[in-house]
Structure 1
Amino acid sequence: MSLFKTFTRFSFFLLILLTASKTVVFADGGFPVRPGRLLIAPSASYFFSNTQWDSTGVKKSFPNSGKYTSVGITLYAEYGISRRFAAIVSLPYVYNTYTQNIAPRTTVTSGLTDLETGLRYYLFNIDFVYYFSLQGTAITPTYSNNPNLGYGEEGGELKLAFSGTGSLFGKSTYFNASDGVRQYFGNNGPIQNRYTGTFGITLDDEFKNQISVSLSGINSFSDDKKFISGIPETNRNYSFIQASLSYGYSFTRELALYATGGEFLTGRNTSDGTIFSLALIYRLDYR
């Protein structure tokens, strides 16, 4: 496998992870969804990278002055089935471009990636302030024979989440924390631990403006640890931590817009990059 193909296979899958992780601010956690409420969240993201961390965590430039950019579009939806259950679905589309100073100078790949469908169960709450949930998710590739869009393997994830509200300096606050274990069912896994923590605060009494900070990461483990020049052939054994800052504005109770910027803090066998995203949140009640 060529170095360039190795890199693109790794980078395209990394973008899938980033596209999924940016929805944490408004969608991830244990807060219940009202029965009969449908939350629709289309989002768009832009990712840029020209450096990477090797297997020892040392940062270096991509070979041949390489640069990677990607635009991702994700449709996320969540529906409250009952007081205890909610259904979740997420589907990303990516358009990726890699440029370097040798042939091929520009390579473009695009397509739908992995469909995620899940069921969330609200375990219990404490005084209707703190909420706990358990979610099971199925991962289904929407492509075939295209390693540039992901593993091409089915998988499953089980995730626990804890959410709550409070106050700080007279302003309303909230937090979400989640930790999930994901297993892909193909050869050499991988098995992954995915974690996220978010803290947000409202800036006015009308609850129209809010800011939040998030810290998220993935630890991926596999018996397949092969890599070339610090770039893994199949991106099955890696880790990273990412920090994000978001601003949200609520136009109405049903409509809100979130802008997010994220930066990698550390990593191993993964890219260093910056991501920007916009997400529109629309709520519809059917009961």
Structure 2
Amino acid sequence: MTLKNTILKYILTPALLCSLFVNESFADGFPVRPGRISLSPSATYFFANKAWDANSHKGAFDDNGKFTSWSYSLYTEYGISRKFTLSVLAPYVMNNFSSDQGTFKSSGFQDLEVGIRYYLANINYKYYFSLKATAILPMYTNTTLGYNQKGGELKLAFAGSGHLFGKNSFFVLENGVREYFGYESVFQDRYNATYGLTLDKKFREQLSLSVGGFYASSINKDFNANPSAGKNFAFNQVSLSYGHSFSKNFSLFLTGGRFITGRNTAVGTNVSASLNYRIDTR
């Protein structure tokens, strides 16, 4: 196999890696106070040297192949009113695929995501139901950085808080479906369940466990080492996150995740760090 064919097989159209993991660093689905700006810069490292084939059989990449990626993003959400928030996600990625045949690299901005969240209802201001509509806009023309297709997503979330073993706890259940429009259009279903505990009485230490998955469908069945680049694949992931609040409005989150099952995708491991800073403008 030539280096060109290896590139086409493993790293064609890398896209949206950070958007798979950015929201795991903090609890999504809870209301943002009107006039509050929530800023969440994050960095994610992804590694894979094995893959599941179309029949979910696991094996090493050809020619000692290895895929690594650093992705950086800024997620911002603004509370417009008690019912509506506006969010923006801007990602940048640096991908590297190397094997005995050579090395291929790509980097650049990816898809800009602009979303409107509407809070449908709440139960005693402890449990919240929300619906989010997101527009997906490519920030590039180089197709090695993404599908280069506009798209849209609808996400339903249920979030709440309570107590477990005398400690404050929270949970978030999410399911989002998105469609990329154009040639070889892609349908995706992204789902996630997170449960977390506050470890101390001052609400400074937090530990959470997430179980999530990703399903993508398209007429293009080709394998790709980058889980956000392939157009027909599936995987499930388990993640553990630790959060520390330095103050009421400033927090740090560290997350590690591992793909546990999959089809037509890489066996990925990722670690990320995210800051969350809140600014009240009213």
In the alignment, what sits opposite 1:192? 188
Does residue 205 of the first structure (1) align with residue 204 of the second (2)?
no
Amino acid at match of 1:112: F
Structure 2 distance, partners of 1:121, 1:92, is: 24
Alignment match of 2:231 (pick from 236, 242, 248): 236
Q: TM-score, normalised by structure 2?
A: 0.94
Long gaps (5+) in structure 2:
none
Structure 2 distance, partners of 1:259, 1:85, is: 28
Does residue 150 of the first structure (1) align with residue 149 of the second (2)?
no
Structure 2 distance, partners of 1:162, 1:231, is: 29
The 1:227/1:71 distance shift into structure 2, 3 A limit, reads closer
Q: Secondary structure at the match of 1:23?
A: helix
Does residue 115 of the first structure (1) align with residue 112 of the second (2)?
yes
The 1:27/1:41 distance shift into structure 2, 3 A limit, reads same
In the alignment, what sits opposite 2:138? 141
Alignment match of 1:174 (pick from 164, 170, 175): 170
Structure 2 distance, partners of 1:239, 1:25, is: 18
In the alignment, what sits opposite 2:216? 220
Amino acid at match of 1:282: Y
State how many pairs are aligned.
278
Q: Secondary structure at the match of 2:247?
A: coil
Structure 1 distance, partners of 2:240, 2:84, is: 30
Contact 2:194-2:209 at 8 Å conserved across structures: yes
Give the deviation of 1:26 after TM superposition.
4.6
Alignment match of 1:126 (pick from 123, 127, 144): 123
Structure 1 distance, partners of 2:6, 2:98, is: 14
Structure 2 distance, partners of 1:235, 1:159, is: 21
Long gaps (5+) in structure 1:
none
Q: Deviations over 1:87-137 (max 9, x none)?
A: 0100111111111112xx222211001100000000010011100000000
Task: State, as a whole percentage, how many aligned pairs show the same letter.
Answer: 47
Q: What's the RMSD between the two structures over aligned residues? A: 1.8
Q: Secondary structure at the match of 1:22?
A: helix
Q: Secondary structure at the match of 2:30?
A: coil
Structure 1 distance, partners of 2:165, 2:26, is: 25
Structure 1 runs of 4+ with >6 Å offset: none
Amino acid at match of 1:25: E
